[in-house]
Chain A
């Protein structure tokens, strides 16, 4: 399966967390325990910890600010 890069526009991101919770690749139990292995809400902005994106596009659909871009 192809793995994509996620690019976050820090100016646009408001830290609502919609991308984290709508992502099927993220284990929410891990997030609840404070383990951030893929995406993290750090200092009010989304930060990508490592490449994991399968390109489903859920985060793009639900990001209210259009702050996310998926690329190679």
Chain B
């Protein structure tokens, strides 16, 4: 059986033109996907478990799903402050239940943007987000800038589907109608094919953006080099920016995780706003996990805030740096956690991991990853976009429905697991309520 128009659940590009050949519920061929996307489909059976695992006194035992839900609920009822973290590799439907659990338990809820594009989110709340869709980029953009990102490694089909190569409505000759500028600290694969590559010194992004804005606003710069880039090259890039018909600035972690963080992004967005005095210019984040944008969106529409939400006062509070997962773990404020479709142990700071390992936590993930190996209880699930349908947001905030390619009747989906836990918690609402009454009386 050949299934067409399959959406790839790997990166934020959400390529929706995959053609997959399935034989006896086995994926045989994946067409139109890059190496990363194809490997997710072809190797989806690797590193999976069929039953939940509970760890007690150093022993592991396999249990059935009902027992696992009861155990998870008991664990949550015995804790006073819970953290829900992850959510970027699952569907919006599952994220909705995660928010409901966080609200019911008056805990914290955070997604993986806290350690990647969190500063970008903070910035666009401050100065706005003059963005567009990837369709606009394909049809209109004649100047593409990649700043602090390497899409040919992280989003391999980004250039061929959306930015540099596609033949669009006003860019009929494809790459012949476009120019590519790459700004990075090293000569990446993307930089090798760029029309113009600016190599900047690490952590000097803010300086370079400020210089560009100064030039755009008519000031003269007397230094010979800014951030390691010769001033003539900066003028050349500014001329390219001012003379294009439609420009787009894509930025990645190279910009969000350098010194200045959200202030650097503030400055980059302001640069784009300044450029709009001359021509049409947009900015877009290069989102990593396929539904990290969805995690921000769902949290924003349900709580009012995109990440790092604290329900401890009974209403949503948001203060990244105080209520974000890394910080609440480092301050040892939580005594239980639910990790959904993420692997914090492999990428969180040491202090946060130390506390996470000292508390009982529930891991809900299709794959048996590093965090699952230390969880008090691990619940395996279906893979969204391969074994179950779901909705995800592309990096330009466009919702796309992911398709089911093969059957898996052995496991529940992330949504079903979270729904079961939520419903069982609701049955014990009086216990939870009593706990908060006591806490507020104190």
B33 with A14: CB separation less than 8 A: no
- List residues of chain B with CB under 8 Å of any chain A CB: 2, 4, 17, 19, 29-39, 42, 152-153, 156-157, 159-161, 165-167, 174-175, 189-190, 192-193
B152 with A64: CB separation less than 8 A: yes
User: Does A16 have its Cβ within 8 Å of any Cβ on chain B?
Assistant: yes
State the CA gap A31–B351 with chains docked (Å): 50
A22 with B29: CB separation less than 8 A: no
| Given A17-B161, A21-B165, A64-B193: A41 and B34 interface contact (C-beta under 8 Å) | yes
Contacts of B157 in A (CB 8 A): 15-17
Taking the nearest CB of chain B, how far is it from the CB of A58, in angstroms? 8
B159 with A18: CB separation less than 8 A: yes
A41 with B29: CB separation less than 8 A: no
State the CA gap A21–B164 with chains docked (Å): 10
Query: Majority SS of interface residues in chain A?
Result: mixed
Contacts of A15 in B (CB 8 A): 33-38, 156-157
Closest Cβ neighbor of A44 among chain B residues:
B38
Contacts of B17 in A (CB 8 A): 32
State the CA gap A44–B41 with chains docked (Å): 10
Closest Cβ neighbor of B151 among chain A residues:
A16
List 12 extra interface pairs beyond A18-B159, A64-B189, CB under 8 A.
Answer: A14-B35, A14-B152, A14-B156, A15-B35, A16-B159, A17-B32, A18-B160, A18-B193, A22-B165, A44-B33, A44-B38, A45-B38
State the CA gap A22–B157 with chains docked (Å): 13
- List residues of chain A with CB under 8 Å of any chain B CB: 13-18, 20-22, 28, 31-32, 34, 36, 40-45, 61-62, 64-65
Taking the nearest CB of chain B, how far is it from the CB of A33, in angstroms? 9
B32, B33, B156, B175 pick with most chain A CB within 10 angstroms:
B32
State the CA gap A3–B17 with chains docked (Å): 30
The 10 A-B residue pairs with the shortest CB-CB distance, nearest first, are: A44-B38, A44-B35, A17-B160, A15-B34, A64-B189, A21-B165, A16-B156, A15-B35, A21-B160, A64-B152
B4 with A45: CB separation less than 8 A: no
B190 with A64: CB separation less than 8 A: yes
Taking the nearest CB of chain B, how far is it from the CB of A72, in angstroms? 26
Contacts of B193 in A (CB 8 A): 18, 61-62, 64
Taking the nearest CB of chain B, how far is it from the CB of A38, in angstroms? 14
Contacts of B159 in A (CB 8 A): 16, 18
